Amino acid sequence: IVGGRPGNSPWTVSIRNREGVHFCGGSLVKEQWVISTRQCFSSCEADLSGYAVWLGTLYKNPAPDDPDKQAIPIIKIICGPSESQLVMLKLERPATLNRRVALICLPPERFIVPVNTECEIAGWGDTRGTGDDNVLNVAKLPIMSNQECNISLRGHLKESELCTSPLFVSVGACEGDFGGPLACLTHNCWVLEGVITPSRVCARKDRPSTFIRVSLYVDWINKVMKLS
């Protein structure tokens, strides 16, 4: 995260490859289910044995005896509707919820986040020298309307995306944050409104950031959890 600061985002998970190296983020939506982005995974039928999610730790490389860390193998990947670029990862066992690990709410179906709602992105990715690369960083970003965003992006925005406003300084997601959450506080609850997707640049102060709009895919998410 560029322009963020060390923080607490108990639903943000780190996705690790077979060597235990972090490569993407994700969000814990049920004890045994994580949402991330398709771009992080080789295939919708990938054999993910050896891959795991790490939860509960604020550090990118926690000590082996870190009592807060939960490392849970991934047993299944399910790809979302093609244009969604979402994936759901089923974990081998349910995560234990505690002060460090929490679920994030799903938004109501087709819900539009009100403009200027204060949201957060979180991840263990590159900070571009703006912070500590070894800890979970969090940054605040306000929601921008799709109409206004589309003008800024010259008509390239899809209805299945949502935007946050550019700030006066560079703030945004970067390498290693992809798949992680855009979480917004609504009615005193943190809601997963967006998923961070790869973009060509990290955090430009003159352009809005775009995310996958989760509310369009809530029916699919619930169906996956019900049928799998």
Partner 1 sequence: QCSPLNGFQRLKATQLMYLSYQREEYPMEVEECARRCAISFDCRAFHYNWQSHGCQLLRFTQHSPHTQLQRNVHCDLYQKKGYVRNCIMGDGSDYRGTQSVTEKKKICQQWRLKFPHDHRFALLPQNGLEENYCRNPDKDKQGPWCYTTDPAIRYQSCGIKKCENAVCMTCNGEDYRGFVDHTESGTECQRWDLQHPHRHPFVPNKYPDKDLADNYCRNPDNSERPWCYTMDPAKEREYCHIRKCTEKRRQLSSTTSCFRMKGEDYRGEVNVTSTGIPCQRWDSQIPHRHHYLPQKYECKDLRENYCRNPDGSEAPWCFTTFPNTRRAYCFQIKRCADNVEAEDCYRGNGEDYIGTVSKTRKGITCQRWNEQYPHKPQVFPTMFPTVHLEENYCRNPDNDSHGPWCYTMNHNIPFDYCAIELCAGETKPSIFLNPEEVVFDQCGKRDDRMQVLAPITGGRAR
Instruction: For the segment 95-134, give every residue that binds partner 1 (CB under 8 A).
Output: 99, 102-105, 107-108, 110-112, 114, 126, 128-129, 132, 134
The answer to whether 50 contacts partner 1 (rule: CB under 8 A) is yes
* Residue from 202, 212, 214, 221 binding partner 1 (CB under 8 A): 202
- We find the least distance from the C-beta atom of residue 87 to partner 1, in angstroms, to be 12
How far apart are the C-alpha atoms of 9 and 15, rounded to whole Å?
A: 15
**CB nearer partner 1, residue 43 or residue 151:** 43
- Binding residues with partner 1: total (CB under 8 A): 76
Look up residue 111 and give its two tokens. Answer: 């819900």
- Please name the residue that has the structure tokens 């005896």: 65
Nearer to partner 1, 111 or 153 (CB): 111
Q: Is 203 left (phi over 0), alpha (psi -120 to 50) or beta?
A: left
Q: Which stretch binds partner 1 (CB under 8 A): 147-155, 163-171, 174-182?
A: 174-182
Tokens in use for 23?
């490569």
Beta pairing partners, 221: none
Write down the least CB distance from residue 96 to partner 1, Å: 15
Structure tokens at 35: 């949402």
Cβ closer to partner 1: 152 or 199? 199
- Closest approach of partner 1 to the CB of residue 219, in Å: 6
Q: Print the binding letters for residues 133-172 with partner 1: x by CB under 8 A, - otherwise.
A: -xx-----------------------x-------------
* Cβ at position 168, least distance to partner 1 in Å: 20
Task: Return d(Cα 51, Cα 43) in angstroms, integer.
Answer: 14
50's torsion region: left (phi>0), alpha (psi -120 to 50) or beta? left
Within 8 A by CB and 6+ apart from 194, the residues are 119, 162, 181, 182, 211, 212, 213, 214
Comparing CB distances to partner 1, the nearer of 20 and 94 is 20
